């Protein structure tokens, strides 16, 4: 072999060996992640089937096709329409703002009449909520339509009488036409159908990311630094709670190893068994503040606190920084949302009712 070819071959081997080693390490990390029950988000037809199956589990009396374009567009209008609330000021989007990663960026949710959540609870993101096993911090709802019903009648959220909500929608000609187009001329527009339609739109709010590509075998989808953070995330045992498609969304015990530093902020203690819904980590770098009462604004501080109270370990500053670097890969591509023209109300549409400062305080204790 000519000397120049030998030199070129040696140079090639010297350069390729580290790349091959890195790819081998990446494939091993993917295998380890999958074994820890980290699951990539379904795509294409698999995602369509998943979402349709989820919608079929709703409290939906309608027996026709679901997740049609007309139903989803109608659900979007209802999601964004503040007239559902008593004051005409609060929509689903108020607390779950689609332009702010599906949250409101405040520690304590605020609703009708500027009333703060009585339990000092933070608004979870609506994005990817279809992948949650349960909804609300105490997991009391199994599906998105149940979740949508809660805020409507909640006195410190929309504060609306469900019957008046039904009367409003049925009095707006544009909504009546849209429901007939979506469900047929004999459709009965009631609260169940309204919230199921909202849920169909919410089910489309999914954000696939480079992380999903990595789990499906694309070793280059994550940088070396992100892979290092993922490895640390696995080694520390974070997947004990943050696993599945949503890296969360199921119920788990809280304060397992030590008390939460801000447990006295608000009175929320979880469900009757002290279990709390694990928040999704998808888009987590955009959904601050963290924890059920929104007491941490820096993700690295939240990571260290979770290590202490859930795993009984110390996660130092450098380790928290590396895990946070991995979280960059969880920021996904959001669907394009075009704000619609909402249908014009009629003379018979129930008018807004203001809430004055001296009004009677709500007695019902809501949980977000």
Return the DSSP state at 308. Answer: I
Q: What are the strands, taking DSSP E only, across the chain?
A: 251-253, 275-277
Q: Name the pairing type of β-strands 275-277 and 251-253.
A: antiparallel
Residue 250 marked in a binding site: no
Return the DSSP state at 124. Answer: P
Q: Which residues contact 241 (CB under 8 A, 6 or more apart)?
A: 248, 252, 278, 310
Q: Read out DSSP for 339-365?
A: PPPPPPP-TTSPPP----TTSPPP-S-
Q: Which residues contact 5 (CB under 8 A, 6 or more apart)?
A: none
| Catalytic annotation, pick one of 112, 146, 157, 286 | 157
Q: Read out DSSP for 210-243?
A: HHHHHHTT-TTSS-HHHHHHHHHHHHTTGGGTS-
Residue 242 marked in a binding site: yes
Is-catalytic flag, 157? yes
Q: Are 127 and 281 in contact (CB under 8 A)?
A: no
- Three-state DSSP at 131 gives helix
Residue 241 marked in a binding site: yes
CA distances from 275 to 8, 129, 151, 211, 262 (A): 62, 18, 22, 28, 17
Residue 95 marked in a binding site: yes
State how far the Cα of 39 lies from the Cα of 244, in Å rounded to an integer: 5
Return the DSSP state at 276. Answer: E
Residue 10 marked in a binding site: no
**Binding residue positions for heme c:** 92, 95-96, 238, 241-242, 306
What residues act catalytically? 157
**Binding residue positions:** 92, 95-96, 238, 241-242, 306
């Amino acid at each position: 072999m000519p000397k120049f070819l030998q030199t070129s071959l040696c140079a090639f081997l010297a350069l390729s060996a580290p790349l091959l080693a890195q790819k081998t390490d990446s494939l091993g990390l993917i295998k380890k992640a999958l074994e820890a029950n980290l699951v990539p988000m379904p795509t294409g037809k698999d995602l369509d089937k998943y979402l349709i199956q989820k919608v079929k589990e709703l409290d939906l009396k309608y027996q026709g096709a679901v997740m049609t374009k007309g139903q989803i567009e109608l659900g979007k209008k209802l999601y964004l329409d503040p007239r559902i609330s008593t004051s005409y000021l609060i929509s689903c989007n108020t607390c779950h703002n689609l332009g702010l990663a599906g949250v409101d960026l405040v520690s304590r949710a605020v609703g009708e009449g500027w009333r703060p959540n009585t339990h000092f609870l933070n608004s979870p993101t609506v994005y990817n909520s279809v992948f949650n096993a349960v909804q609300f911090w105490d997991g009391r709802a199994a599906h998105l339509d149940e979740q949508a019903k809660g805020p409507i009648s909640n006195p410190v959220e929309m504060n609306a009488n469900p019957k008046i909500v039904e009367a409003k929608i049925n009095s707006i000609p544009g909504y009546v036409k849209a429901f007939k187009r979506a469900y047929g001329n004999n459709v009965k527009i009631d609260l169940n159908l309204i919230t199921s339609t909202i849920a169909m739109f919410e089910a489309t709010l999914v954000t696939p990311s480079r992380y999903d590509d990595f789990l499906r075998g694309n070793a280059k989808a994550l940088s070396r630094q992100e892979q290092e953070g993922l490895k640390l995330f696995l080694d520390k045992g974070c997947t004990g709670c943050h696993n599945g498609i949503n890296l969360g969304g199921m119920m788990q015990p809280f304060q397992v190893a030590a008390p939460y530093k801000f447990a006295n902020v608000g009175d929320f203690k979880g469900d009757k068994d002290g279990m709390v819904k694990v928040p999704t980590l998808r888009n987590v770098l955009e959904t601050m503040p963290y924890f059920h009462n929104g007491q941490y604004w820096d993700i690295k501080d939240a990571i260290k606190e979770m290590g202490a109270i859930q795993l009984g370990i110390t996660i130092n500053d450098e380790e928290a920084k590396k895990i946070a670097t991995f979280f960059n890969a969880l920021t996904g591509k959001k669907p394009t949302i075009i704000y619609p023209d909402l249908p014009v109300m009629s003379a018979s549409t129930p008018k807004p009712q203001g809430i004055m400062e001296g009004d009677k305080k709500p007695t019902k204790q809501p949980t977000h």
